[in-house]
Amino acid sequence: MYKAEVRGPLILGNKDYSQITRDIIAPIDARAPIWWKVAMGISLMAAAWGMVALYMTVRYGLGTWAVNNSVAWGWEIINFVWWIGIGHAGTAFSIFLLILRQKWRTSINRAAEAMTVFAVMCAAIFPAIHMGRVWLAFYIFPYPNTRGSLWVNFNSPLFWDFIAISAYLLISASFWYFGMVPDFASIRDKAKSKVKKAVYGLLAFGWTGSSKEWLRYEGLSYILGGIAAVLVVSVHSIVSTDFASSVIPGWHTTLFPPYFVVGAIFSGFAMVMTLMIVIRKFYKLEQYVTDAHLNAIARILVFISLIMGSSYATEVFMAWYGGNEYEMFTFFHNRITGTYTFMFWAMITCNAVIPQLMWSKKVRNNITALFIISLVINVGMWYERYNIVVTSLAKDYLPSSWTLYSPTWVEIGIYIGTLGIFITGVLLFFRFIPMIAISEVKSVLKPTSITKYTKKH
Amino acid sequence: MEKKYWKSLEERNDLPVENPGSRDEDASKSLLELINEEIANKPSSRRSFLKLAGFSFATAAIATSCKNPVNTAIPFLNKPEEVTPGMANYYASTYFDGHDFCSILVKVRDGRPIKIEGNDLSSFNKGGTSARVQGSVMSLYDDGGRIKNPLIGGLDTSWEMIDQKILTKLTAAAASGKAIVILTPTVVSPTTRQLFTEFIAKYPGTKVVTYDPVSASAILQANKDCFGLQVVPDYHIEKADVLVSFDADFLGTWLSPVEYTRRWAEGRRLTDNKKNISELYVFESGMSLTGANADKRFAIKPSQQVAVILNLYNEIAVASGGKTYPAPVSTVSVKELAVKLMAAKGKSLVISGINDAAIQVVVNAINMHLGNFGTTIDLGTTLNLRQGFDQDMENLVTEMNAGNVGAIFFYNSNPVYNYGDVTRFREGLKKVPFTLSFATARDETTKLCGYVCPDHHYLESWNDAEPKKDQFTLQQPTIRNIFNTRQVQDSLLKWSGSTLDYHAAIQKYWETSLYGKQSKYGSFRDFWNHSLQEGVFELPNPAWTLPEFNSTALDTAATKTHPATKSGATELVFYETIALGNGYHANNPWMMEMPDPISKVCWDNFAAIPPKMAERDGIQNGDVLYIDERIELPAFIQPGQAEGTIGIAYGYGRSETGKVADGTGKNVFHFMKAENGFRKNSISVGTVRSIGNQYKLASTQMHHSMENRPIVRETNLSEWQKKPNAGNEIHEEYEKQKFTLYKEFIFAGHHWGLGIDLNTCSGCSACVIGCQAENNVAVVGKEQVAMTRIMHWIRIDRYYSEDPQNPSVYFQPVMCQQCDNAPCENVCPVSATNHSNEGLNQMAYNRCIGTKYCINNCPYKVRRFNWYRYATNEAFDYNMNSDLGRMVLNPDVTVRERGVVEKCSFCVQRIQEKKLLAKLENRELRDGDILPACVQACPAGAMVFGDLNDPESRISKLFNNERTYHLLEDVHTLPSVGYMTKVRNRDEGKVS
């Protein structure tokens, strides 16, 4: 029999199964609270700004951005990598913990997966929009065509990227959706209005909850989990080859694939933490997302932070040890010192130094502190991508081509827009989908619930 | 019993099978009938299908065809002789704008001139050109700038009307006894000069006043004083081992830079088994192209030049036993230089661009002592490009103000813009009752003229020229006049009552004056046709003897030169830029956007301040300075600018000429003052203060140090003589390390390569504009340039090293290196950029989706992105936004769409053209057949293009030279472009 003696109970409060269902689908039945409406309004406005910026980009050209003939990638690629990184968490969270049979994931995985889907959607905007001729984006699809057939360049990391991201989006979305089927069924069963019944009924795929269904359901999660686990690693490794396979100092490094994957998980987990703190605060789900959950995430973060720190150190060390003068310049005169010093040290501080505070139990138990640190990490991860993308390009081989780059309102607008889209998505998720996987949470109720546990003794 | 198998209960029980149609009935019909019947019964028949399909096709056809503009191509009914659509014709012609001269070939495609190339038959420029010459084709299609009809009082009129009125006016002016003045810059056309005489004969009060905005009148005066010859001599720079220049930017702007660049390069070339190169000393205030190429440069104030020149004279006079004169203390020691010059007696040359006759006399005396007349200075084949005396213009303005001028004709002159005392000129002009301008394009003076008889553009005109004594060239129209214009000479002929047209007049002149001087051609027709085809007719250099040097001239000059130097005062130095010169071409968007080779700034002029001053006064680039309480200009910290001086370029601040030039920069011609009859290009000023504003200058290069990277490799002559790979030792190392795991590219046919000798590249940027004209490179405007988005396919990188007060300067033309292991190629997701089997890195614009990864991954950063749509876009209202402006585009090169990447193609269209030609002529391609636009334009012959697979080709030999290396060869990109090390001649104490 499963006993969790080291870890405390995963769900607090003397809950029974129907209580759990009621608790979790309460926000779906309740009227939208004021804060939700305000937040929705703001994020829609942000998304609208993004739409205007996207319109400018497509209508007038990439000239509306500040990227130039030396720094041809700017905020759009920074934000792309940043979002993809955030989009890692959900899948990484669910899958790795699923495979490792970490039951505490059950309260969190649904939200994390939702976040993944929205983040990857936001990320996918950038590679498309950064194309000079987005209307010809389909040239990147490898399909037999009337142009020859003219095939894509299978050597190009951008093509790998396209495949990796599409595959990842597809698998994470399916994983997320299939995980929700039993919960949709629960809502359908509880729903009073006909419309709701019909909609959730459709979404529930005729789920009846038979043992056969549960068996297949479990099987499917493991299969999808297995595929997604590979993708989690591959997608960001491949994103990293966008840089690593180039010849540009600061990009051309074999460290990138693991460093990118770990970085992605880092930012993703930080974002999960941010989101979970919001959920438990606003939806009063502290008994499901307990302090222990946050504590566990914090421990993971502090560990990843150490990996990040050593990655940064390795990069700098290899630049020195490799003795390549261009790389030396990039690291020592354009990052550690030089024009872009702020970005470098912001990255170090946010990603490698501040998370170390979480060694202290006091900090780990302080929700506000955790909330702030989780935000700091995401800011830091943004700076990391800024460091990689901009500093390497701004000053590469020939000093005659060195230049500076700072974004225009259009580039900032697109970023704000994706934040808007992301938050809109998350808010809709809060409103219409059970935030916690009801069926999965129920599975961890019995052996770990404190009441049941004590009763037995 | 037999088993009974059944399929249905009906069958088993032998019940009749229910069937809607009667089988018996059907059986009687044929299959075809059945089908027809079935179709007829169905609601959709074949007939209705066809109806529907027809309707949809028709609708779709109408709907889609409505949106497509109808373009009609009308074939020739009778094919004009020599014009084959798609084939270019080249016509020899001449470029002379009153300032720069070049013998050219005009490339004409389908009846329109689209490109200027140097005429290699001319001994003057031997195929070389300058940036301005390359760009001059654009001004033909200047829609906004050119005057389209004759104007009276600013209103369009007809030629008959204007002729009538002018004839009355002329007669009146002649009758009034007042002067009729034709104001021109130097006229080098012998026929036009003769025509002037005829005009004077008809209207005896006529005076032709030659006014060169930037003149050589001091040289003319000095030679008159010293030798009694009022000439500009021919300077044989190639024959000089030691060259000394005092403010004479002979590689950039002084007198005849295209020719001088070629001659200088001859003296600097180390290929062809040469073991020695010339040595160049430059004394100047601002950093000029010549100063940038100097072996030793001295940054001194203009007022300090006199002392240096006099001291140099004294040193040399002492050494050669001549008379010395008291001289002020020189800021730099010239002892060593004097020794060097003495050692190179007869093989040295001292020149000065200072417009002060006294100084020029002393310079003459120095050359006299050095025995340079007759060797490096030729007083026989004199240069005719500057004949104007500054004093003539001063006199004219006085006369005008006195009311003694009855009529003034401006031929190619724009004194309202480029004359110093413009207020006095304007006042004088008001007193002239009859003012007429012959300008081709709008300008400041034309605006004030009552009558405008617009001249043809030079590509629409007949003309001849004698740039040097006894060297003649012809100019022929390459297109019918686009607007309702008339050539000046035709106007003058008409008004003098001649029945000839100018074409006939030229022929007459050539028949009477030149035909007899040759014996090669038996008939004039033959002579004329050949001269016209070749563009040049050159007589052997005349023999001459050196007249006695007038030493009294030196006595007067040596005492007169002492200037009243106000020590400590800031001196403004005005200079011409490589791009705009005297401002005549300011409305040409190509020229306006050409980065200055030194400052790398375009679209503006600025106050170039020395780094020390910037440091002392806390001035940053772009801080607006208020100079002498007269003019506001942004500061630009110019390394090498002499302490106590500020350099400002002429040619900017046009106001009435067109959308490109108007309002860009400030005009500083109005600062120029004549002193003793010579306009000075420097003045002392009072205060210079920062007013606290910031102004954005558009620069194409922000970083100026090579950061100790082996980008431009250099050595010293003595090192090179010891070891030919001096400075380039690492090349060998890299070659040894070259190793790859991958299959190497094999080029079975050709393998194109380009070599650039950094020792003879002066940085003049002719290649930049040549490339722009050839490849339809877009002009993007100041704002975009400032965002690092200039589109040029070839750029001249300029680096400084050592002391910022007086740095060494390096130029390096960088275009796509056509790497055989190109980083751009493997990252393109759609294979839009790929490798040809001739080693070209090619761009398929149609395939490009604009991910820009190739731009990032190019270590040379030579790829350019179309950030906006640059053609037919109101926001980029340069030449590609009007039908006329687009006529300059080369039909062989695609105009790139928004969102695609572009870059140098090694002029693949030219490669293909010559390959096809060779195939048609059934022969092998010859080495040197193919000249990319940059190679063609180069006046120094610093670039070589050819087939690396041919071991005998020039390029193969160049690639095997010990001096050759590849840019960033450690990145293992395997470029097809090679650079040759820069060899300076800086050996201390070396006596050549």
Q: How far apart are CA A339 and CA A402, in angstroms?
A: 12
Judged by CB atoms closer than 8 Å, whether chains meet at A133 and B829 is answered as: no
> Which residue of A69, A162, A245 to mutate against B (max B Cβ within 10 Å)?
A69
Tokens of A59: 């209508």
Residue B197 neighbours by CB under 8 Å, 6+ apart: none
Identify all chain B residues contacting A134, using CB atoms and an 8 Å cutoff.
849, 899
**Which tens digit of pLDDT belongs to each residue from A339-375?**
889 999 999 999 999 999 999 989 988 999 999 999 9
**How does residue B2 score in pLDDT terms, banded at 50, 70 and 90?**
low
pLDDT of residue A20: 80
A158-171 per-residue burial string, b: 16 or more CB within 10 A, e: under 16: bbbbbbbbebbbeb
Q: Which of B703, B708, B826 sits opposite A156 (nearest CB)?
A: B826
Distance CA A338, CA B704 (A): 16
The pLDDT of residue B567 is 62
Quick check: B829 pLDDT over 90? yes
Search chain A and give the residue with CA nearest B811: A400
- Chain B nearest CA to A134, separation (Å): 7
pLDDT digits (tens, 9 = 90+) for B311-364: 999 999 998 888 888 888 888 888 889 999 999 999 999 999 999 888 999 999
Could you read off the pLDDT of A203-223 as tens digits, one per residue?
988 888 888 998 998 888 888
Q: Where are the beta strands (DSSP E) in B318-376?
A: 348-352
Is A400 touching B (CB cutoff 8 A)? yes
Write the pLDDT tens digit of every residue in B48-101: 778 888 888 888 777 665 566 677 777 778 888 788 888 899 999 999 988 889
**Do A156 and B787 count as a contact with CB atoms less than 8 A apart?**
no
State the pLDDT at residue B327: 84
Question: How many degrees, rounded to 5, is the angle at CA B536 between CA B530 and CA B537?
Answer: 80
pLDDT of B24 higher than 60 = no
Give pLDDT tens digits for A417-457. 999 999 999 999 888 888 888 877 877 766 544 444 444 44
Q: Say whether residue A71 is in contact with chain B using an 8 A CB cutoff.
A: yes
**A248 and B784: CB-CB below 8 Å?**
no
E runs forming strands in B653-724: 674-675, 678-679, 682-685, 688-694, 698-699, 714-716
Domains of chain B: 1-67 (no CATH), 151-215+388-534 (3.40.50.740), 217-383 (3.40.228.10), 568-699 (2.40.40.20), 714-735+749-984 (3.30.70.20)
Count of Cβ atoms closer than 10 Å to residue B598 Cβ: 27
**Mapping DSSP to helix (H, G, I), strand (E, B) and coil, where does residue A373 land?**
helix
Question: pLDDT tens for residues B717-769?
Answer: 999 999 888 889 999 888 888 888 888 888 989 999 999 999 999 999 999 99
Residues of A in contact with B711 (CB under 8 A): 398-399
CB contact under 8 A, A397 and B860: yes
The answer to whether residue B990 scores a pLDDT higher than 60 is: no
Q: Which residues of A touch B813 (CB under 8 A)?
A: none
CA A123, A125, A127, A130 dihedral sign is: negative
Could you tell me if A342 lies within 8 Å of chain B, comparing CB atoms?
Answer: no
Q: Is B34 or B369 the better-scoring residue by pLDDT?
A: B369
Pick from B770, B591, B611, B570: which is nearest to B665 by CA? B591
Q: Which of B827, B828, B899 sits opposite A246 (nearest CB)?
A: B827
Q: What is residue B31's predicted lDDT score, i.e. its pLDDT?
A: 72
- Cα–Cα distance measured from residue A118 to residue A47, given in angstroms and rounded to the nearest whole number: 13
- Pick from A152, A154, A153: nearest CA to A142: A152
CB–CB of B968 and A397 under 8 A?
yes
Rounded Cα gap, residues B466 and B119, in angstroms:
15
CA distance B686 to chain A (A): 36
Measure CA B237 to chain center: 22
Average pLDDT over all residues of chain B: 89
Token look-up 């709701």 returns A196
Contact B850 A133 (CB under 8 A): yes
pLDDT at B42: 66
Q: Does A62 touch chain B (CB under 8 A)?
A: yes
Structure tokens at B943: 């670039």
Does domain A17-456 match CATH 1.20.1630.10?
Answer: yes
Are A329 and B823 inside 8 Å of each other by CB? no
pLDDT classification of A289: cutoffs 50, 70, 90: confident
What are the pLDDT digits (tens) for B281-314? 999 999 999 999 999 999 999 888 888 999 999 9
Name the least confident of A82-91, A401-410, B618-627: A82-91
Q: How far apart are the first and last CA of chain B?
A: 132
Shortest Cα distance, chain A CAs vs residue B846, angstroms: 10
pLDDT of residue B65: 59
Q: Which of A187-196, A318-327, B55-64, B356-365 has the lowest mean pLDDT?
A: B55-64
- The two tokens of residue B229 are 């010859």
List chain B residues with CB under 8 Å of A164.
Answer: none
* pLDDT (mean) for B776-802: 93
B622 has pLDDT over 70: yes
Which residues make Cβ contacts (< 8 Å) with residue B447, sequence separation at least 6? B416, B656
DSSP, collapsed to helix, strand or coil, labels residue B19 as coil
Tell me, what DSSP letter sits at residue B542?
P
Q: Indicate the residue of A127, A139, A398 with minimum beta-carbon distance to B847.
A: A139
The minimal CB distance from B860 to the residues A157, A398, A399 is found for A398
Tell me if B826 and A246 make a contact (CB, 8 A cut-off): no
Annotate B400-462 with DSSP letters as a single string: HHTT-EEEEEESS--HHHH-S-HHHHHHHHHT-SEEEE--SB--HHHHT-SEE-PPPPGGG--
Among residues of chain B, what percentage have pLDDT more than 70? 95
pLDDT band of B687, cuts 50, 70, 90: confident
Backbone angles phi, psi at A359, to 5 degrees: -60, -30
pLDDT of amino acid B839: 92
Q: Is the pLDDT at A302 greater than 70, yes or no?
A: yes
Cβ <8 Å between A133 and B831: no
For range B880-888, the mean pLDDT: 91
In B469-515, DSSP assigns E strands to 471-475
pLDDT of residue A448: 46
Query: Cβ contact (<8 Å) for B850 and A60?
Result: no
CB pair distance less than 8 Å for B851 and A242: no
